[in-house]
Structure 1
């Protein structure tokens, strides 16, 4: 059986109080998925206010492993 190789992206949704916290949380999830030594590229990232919690934000970040 041959092994199929193709690029894979990972979409994570995280929350945080500021951009640094959001970046840290998103990167931790991506490294957990791709491996702690993986080099990652962010394809897109979008944040929005959390309507239920003051000064909190939700973000969706899409990662791809750099080959």
Structure 2
């Protein structure tokens, strides 16, 4: 158990952990950004459809009067 507590082993474990955390983070951030962009684009299309529906409803109500 003494070899596990030596400074060299702890530094290697620290380096390996930081590399692993960096790899996960570097993969995670672009995935989140892409997801947010796709979601924003879908919401943009949804808003356009909603506005078009409102316009068609307004023209229909004008035609009725």
TM-score higher than 0.5: no
Higher RCO (C-alpha under 8 Å, 6+ residues apart): 1
Q: Which has the higher strand share?
A: 1
Rg larger for: 2
- Identify the structure with the greater helix proportion: 2
Task: State TM-score, norm by structure 1.
Answer: 0.27
